[in-house]
Amino acid sequence: MDHYRVQPNSVVNLVQWDPADKSAFDGDKKKGEARTAKLNKQLEHLQEVLYAEGEHKVLIVIQAMDTGGKDGVIGHVFDGVNPQGVRVAAFKKPTPAEMAHDYLWRVHPHTPGSGEMVIFNRSHYEDVLVVRVHNFVPEDVWRRRYEQINAFEKLLAEEGTTILKFYLHIDLDEQKERLQARLDNPEKLWKFAKGDLDERKRWPEYMRAYEEMLSKTSTAWAPWHIIPANRKWYRNLVISQIMVDTLEGLEMNYPPAEAGLENLVIE
């Protein structure tokens, strides 16, 4: 899975990243879903050990264009994990109180504590994406945020947080199909807003913003992975594998049992 990882100081051109790629798995959708199910069981176990041991912290950042699959990843990849040790933080339009502070003020309280796994559904990266595309702040303001974000994430990493960042990469045609599917499904209409079409018109601008974000903020301590996301089953498989590999690399263990339990019998 390493070839989906953006190397530090590299220059990303998203045209060179195929959103329909499935080269890391030699199998079809059915086999891929079966493999993901097995990985989910491993992830469930590893998250339980993470929570029980209480030493590590894990932050997962998920970014994507509209219909990219953020909710789908959370629902499928993290299916079965213990909600007692996992939180999802969704960052929407800032409130007046949040606007009165620096842009990272609302983010820091949601970062994971010891034994926790936290998933950011959108994140502080909106402040170099939508803020840039819509000119909400001057260019010199959003440009300096790359360095600020790297420093913020380095602080988290140095304090014991393992950070994984996933950009779910779809193409314009796939987005069209998914938006239409929402319109055609009464149970999905609530997820559609006319503003989505305005954002779609800005696709080239967003791609430039994502390319620079990925280039400037994929670091050794907080790497980005560009996930081919046109195929939902493959997207879930790749992220599941990266999650399992990363957690296994932490070499976690259940904490030792209380002394004197060896011969205890419940009457």
- With respect to residue 167, please indicate whether it lies within any of the assigned structural domains: yes
Would you say residue 115 has pLDDT above 90? yes
The pTM (predicted TM-score) of the whole model is: 0.94
The reply to whether 187 falls in a domain is yes
With 90 as the cut, is the pLDDT of residue 14 above it?
yes
SS3 for 5-36 is ECCCCCCCCHHHCCCCCCCCCCCCHHHHHHHH
Q: Which CATH number does the domain housing residue 139 bear?
A: 3.40.50.300
Helices (H), the chain: 29-53, 70-77, 96-99, 130-133, 139-158, 172-184, 195-201, 203-217, 232-249
Output the pLDDT for position 80: 86
Residue 195 has pLDDT above 90, yes or no: no
Average pLDDT of span 28-49: 96
Residue 34 in any domain: the answer is: no
The verdict on residue 258 lying in a domain is no
Pair 177, 69: CB distance under 8 Å: no
Q: How confident is the model at residue 2, as a pLDDT?
A: 87
Residue 155 confidence (pLDDT)? 98
Domains contained in the chain, number:
1
Residue 266 within a domain = no
Domain span including residue 198? 2-21+52-249
Query: Are the CB atoms for 43 and 77 separated by under 8 Å?
Result: yes
